[in-house]
Amino acid sequence: MSARERPSGLLGRGPFFWAGLFFVSSAALGLLAATGAIEGRGTILVLVLVPVALLFAVFRAAQLKIRAKQSSGSRKGVAQAAYIKRVAMFTSFYLASVALFALFDARVDVPYVIRLVIALLPGLAVIGFFWAVGRLIIEEQDEFLRMLTVRQTLVATAIALSAASIWGFLESGDMVPHLDAYWVAVVWFFGLFVGAAANRVEHGTWGSI
């Protein structure tokens, strides 16, 4: 099998395969925790290593796929490669800060200033994700891919703001439980996948994110 015919990605699988496994494992872990099938912060933190490993498999598969394109002489994927590195960096920072927050959250003897800094760290990591997307839009040289990226982020923004508005009014009417504000960012990231699917249906490609 030639280099061109050899499947790119991690273990012959592309990033979408590993992303699917990541979402399935994350949903399964969340369901087990919500139903009480697994208990104890230590047990949950250990099981979280499974989706974390799959998440890094997504990044690695994406990097290998881009390198395969660049090895053929194509200049496409340079901006995406930088984007993946930034997202991997901020993802590592986010996971470490969330673990640190969970470790100190139950303790009452931690000074207020330290608790404040620890609570701010995950939010700063999320800001890093938004910055990485912005840099991708700026650095992407392919006008078509740039358009797809902008379109994808607009879809995500519309979904997140619409969900936040609807939930806010329902919550004001005491019809739904309270949700912390950071869920808006979670819905926005989910919206990126909806935007990617919309790109695929309308333009035949997922885009850069």
Residues 6 or more apart whose CB falls under 8 angstroms from that of 207 comprise 145, 148, 149, 151, 152, 195, 196, 199
Position 158 in a domain:
yes
Position 42 in a domain:
no
Position 44 in a domain:
no
Position 177 in a domain:
yes
Residue 5 confidence (pLDDT): 42
Which one-letter amino acid corresponds to residue 47? Answer: L
Q: Assess contact for 77 and 83: CB atoms under 8 A.
A: no
Using alpha carbons, list the distances in angstroms from residue 6 to 2, 9, 65, 68: 6, 10, 11, 9
- Give pLDDT tens digits for 67-103: 776 666 555 578 888 888 898 888 888 888 887 887 7
If phi over 0 gives left and psi between -120 and 50 gives alpha, with beta otherwise, what is residue 142?
beta
The pTM of the full predicted model, rounded to 2 decimals, is 0.75
Q: What angle is formed at CA 151 by the lines to CA 57 and CA 53, rounded to 5 degrees?
A: 10
Position 195 in a domain:
yes
Position 188 in a domain:
yes
What whole-number percentage of the chain has pLDDT above 90?
26
Q: What is the mean pLDDT of residues 138-153?
A: 92
Number of H-type helices and E-type strands within the chain: 7, 0
Q: Which of 63, 41, 61 is nearest to 53 (CA)?
A: 61
- Give pLDDT tens digits for 168-209: 999 999 998 888 888 899 899 889 889 988 998 988 887 766
Residue 4 confidence (pLDDT): 44
Total domains, the chain: 1
Torsion 197-15-13-52 (CA) sign? negative
- Domain range for 178: 142-209
Residue 19 confidence (pLDDT): 79
Position 167 in a domain:
yes
pLDDT top residue among 38 and 93: 93
Position 181 in a domain:
yes
- Give pLDDT tens digits for 94-114: 888 887 887 777 666 778 888
